[in-house]
């Protein structure tokens, strides 16, 4: 089976490429490398250095493909508040183009990287897939718009689709080519920022006055290797038609301060921090109810926050 991995040079996509290859899938990659890194592409893997916005790139990338894992897109909450039109164009218009090209190429299976940001400030915790969706930032709004687009597409065509709503993805994967890990520039994610924090450049704690026990935001962290495992299981469920949506997290929340404590234990050093204002677009608490993924994907995450911190630490050393 050949799988097209859009965004296959990014943090999550490159780890998907590696794991899928080692499990015997044939892999093609489409990525414009705007945030990814071409040096992650393994030798022998078909790689189209192109864009979701270019139909010819999509047509080329879809050659001989049976299913698509769609990771490509812009994914930073803060940036999306500043540049909503960029998020609309790449995420929503890009996915529209991808679905059109898939239909022409008769590729009717997709697993889409959706997000917990679709829920916004949750009306219930843990968050279920049936919970209300009121995104608090343009990033989440684009992911929700795509989920709706895929639902409509699956009703009007033979598309079989799964959206996986990621909570906070963390950790890294060691390969015989070295570590595949987060290499964002600038890095905005909490765990790498904590582990790179120095006295001269302390990690900012975005908001200490949230309505949470220690005043900092609570998130649900899932190891990237567990996350890819869920994608492979989702792919295996794409036999008929229709669109299913599953949350992917651990089911447990950690505050920013708790993640800092886990890092301090792993490094045996104090993490330099600075209390900072809230970041635009952040909800206070995001914790997943993962019972649907457990039930229908037969999936269960097995790597805890300590493993996520330890792998990230090793990857940057």
Q: What angle do CA 307, 79, 128 make, to 5 degrees?
A: 55
β-bridge pairing 254-255 and 218-219? antiparallel
CA-to-CA dists, residue 214 to 258, 280, 288, angstroms: 9, 20, 20
β-bridge pairing 26-30 and 109-115? unpaired
Q: Does 256 bind ligand UDP (CB under 6 A)?
A: yes
Size of the site for ligand UDP (CB under 6 A): 15
Taking the complex as a whole, the smallest distance from the CB of residue 4 to ligand UDP amounts, in Å, to 25
Q: Does 221 bind ligand UDP (CB under 6 A)?
A: no
Q: How many angstroms separate the CA atoms of 167 and 165, rounded? A: 7
Count the alpha carbons within 13 Å of 18 in the hemisphere toward its beta carbon: 22
Q: Does 14 bind ligand UDP (CB under 6 A)?
A: no
Instruction: State yes or no: is 296 an active-site residue.
Output: no
Taking the complex as a whole, the smallest distance from the CB of residue 240 to ligand UDP amounts, in Å, to 32
Q: Does 279 bind ligand UDP (CB under 6 A)?
A: yes
- The secondary element (H helix, E strand) that includes residue 23 is none
Q: Does 219 bind ligand UDP (CB under 6 A)?
A: yes
> Which residue do the tokens 């920022």 mark?
193
Q: What angle do CA 268, 270, 272 make, to 5 degrees?
A: 145
Q: Does 282 bind ligand UDP (CB under 6 A)?
A: yes
Q: And the tokens for 90?
A: 């790449």
Q: How many angstroms separate the CA atoms of 219 and 256, rounded? A: 8
x/- track of binding to ligand UDP for residues 171-200 (CB under 6 A): -----------------xxx--x-------
**Which CB sits closer to ligand UDP, 96 or 189?**
189
- Of the candidates 139, 166, 246, 254, the residue annotated as catalytic is 139
Q: Does 217 bind ligand UDP (CB under 6 A)?
A: yes
Binding ligand UDP (rule: CB under 6 A), the pick from 15, 52, 68, 77 is: 77
Interface of this chain with ligand UDP, residues 139 to 168, rule: CB under 6 A: 168
Binding ligand UDP (rule: CB under 6 A), the pick from 71, 206, 246, 299 is: 206
Cα radius of gyration (the chain): 19
| Catalytic residue list | 139
Site residues for ligand UDP per CB under 6 A: 77, 168, 188-190, 193, 203-206, 217, 219, 256, 279, 282
């Amino acid at each position: 089976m050949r799988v097209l991995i859009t965004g296959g040079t990014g943090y999550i996509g490159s780890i998907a490429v590696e794991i899928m290859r080692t499990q015997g899938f044939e892999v093609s990659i489409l990525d414009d490398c705007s945030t990814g890194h071409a040096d992650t592409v393994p030798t022998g893997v078909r790689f189209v250095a192109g864009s979701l916005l270019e139909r010819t790139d999509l047509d080329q990338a879809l050659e001989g493909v049976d299913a698509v894992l769609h990771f490509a897109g812009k994914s930073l909450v803060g940036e999306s508040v500043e540049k909503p039109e960029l998020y609309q164009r790449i995420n929503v218009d890009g996915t529209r183009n991808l679905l059109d090209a898939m239909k022409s190429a008769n590729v009717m299976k997709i697993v889409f990287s959706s997000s917990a940001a679709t829920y916004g400030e949750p009306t219930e915790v843990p968050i279920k897939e049936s919970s209300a969706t009121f995104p608090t930032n343009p990033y989440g709004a684009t992911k929700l718009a795509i989920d709706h687009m895929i639902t409509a597409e699956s009703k009007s065509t033979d598309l079989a689709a799964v959206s996986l709503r990621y909570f906070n993805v963390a950790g890294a994967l060691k390969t015989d080519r070295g570590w595949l890990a987060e290499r964002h520039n600038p890095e905005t994610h909490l765990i790498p920022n904590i582990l790179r924090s120095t006295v001269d450049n302390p990690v900012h704690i975005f908001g200490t006055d949230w309505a949470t026990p220690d005043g900092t935001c609570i998130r649900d962290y899932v190891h990237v290797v567990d996350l890819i495992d869920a994608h492979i299981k989702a792919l295996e469920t794409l036999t008929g038609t229709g669109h299913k949506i599953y949350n992917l997290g651990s089911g447990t929340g950690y505050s920013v301060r708790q993640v800092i404590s886990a890092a301090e234990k792993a490094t045996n050093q104090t993490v330099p921090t600075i209390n900072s204002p809230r970041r635009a677009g952040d909800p206070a608490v995001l914790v997943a109810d993962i019972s649907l993924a457990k039930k229908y994907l037969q999936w269960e995450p097995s790597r805890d926050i300590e493993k996520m911190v330890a792998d990230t630490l090793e990857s940057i050393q």
